[in-house]
């Protein structure tokens, strides 16, 4: 991370912040997607995260910690999106249409639905592990948590998922 770039952005240099956004857009989106499991919501949360980062950037005390700080903002933006989503009831129109056949790989859809029912932390870890095929070490590095924490989260998520999937 180029601390000079962050320092320039902290002083209001929009061009410097644009470079930061371009360099971190994909990883920020991946974080949001791992929490939300919806590309549309993940795009919205990513945008919210960068807007929040721009607004709060002058208050960042340690520019060398920017990446962790941004990751926290992205996770919080995703969790805010989850809270907003709970207040809105979605009606999936396509599923109610006559003659619709289940898409190929419906087993994956069952797993995705079950992961979507986990707590935000469990959903994030299980989504990265089962849906994005990330190894434990990569999840640990991406979330900034110890490997043991990821393993523990996966253990609890597996038990919960077994219960969800056995009920159908």
The torsion angles phi and psi of 37, rounded to 5 degrees, stand at 60, 30
Q: State both tokens at 60.
A: 């960042």
pLDDT number for residue 10: 93
Q: 23-60 pLDDT, tens per residue?
A: 999 999 999 988 888 888 899 999 999 999 999 999 99
Supply angle C-alpha 66, 127, 36, rounded to 5: 65
**List of domains in the chain:** 3-87 (1.10.1740.10), 104-167 (1.10.10.10)
Structural tokens at position 130 = 């089962």
**Residue 122: half-sphere exposure toward Cβ, Cα within 13 Å:** 16
What pLDDT is recorded for position 97?
40
Kindly report whether the global pTM for this prediction surpasses the value 0.75: no
Q: Rounded distance, CA 21 to CA 104, Å?
A: 36
How many Å apart are CA 138 and CA 165, to the nearest integer?
26
What pLDDT score was predicted for residue 89? Answer: 54
Q: What are the pLDDT digits (tens) for 143-152?
A: 888 888 888 8
């Amino acid at each position: 991370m180029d601390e000079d770039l962050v320092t320039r952005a902290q002083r209001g240099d929009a061009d410097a912040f644009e470079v930061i956004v371009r360099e971190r857009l994909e990883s920020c989106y991946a974080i949001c997607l791992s929490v939300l499991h919806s590309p549309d919501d993940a795009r919205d949360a990513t945008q919210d995260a960068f807007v929040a980062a721009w607004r709060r950037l002058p208050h960042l005390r340690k520019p060398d910690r920017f990446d962790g700080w941004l990751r926290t903002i992205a996770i919080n933006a995703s969790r805010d999106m989850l809270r907003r989503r709970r207040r809105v009831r979605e009606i999936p129109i396509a599923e109610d249409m006559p003659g619709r056949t289940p898409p190929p790989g419906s087993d994956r859809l069952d797993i995705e639905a079950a992961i979507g029912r986990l707590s935000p932390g469990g959903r994030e870890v299980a989504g990265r592990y089962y849906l994005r095929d990330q190894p434990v070490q990569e999840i640990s590095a991406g979330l900034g948590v110890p490997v043991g924490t990821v393993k523990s989260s996966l253990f609890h998520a597996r038990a919960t998922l077994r219960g969800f999937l056995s009920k159908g």
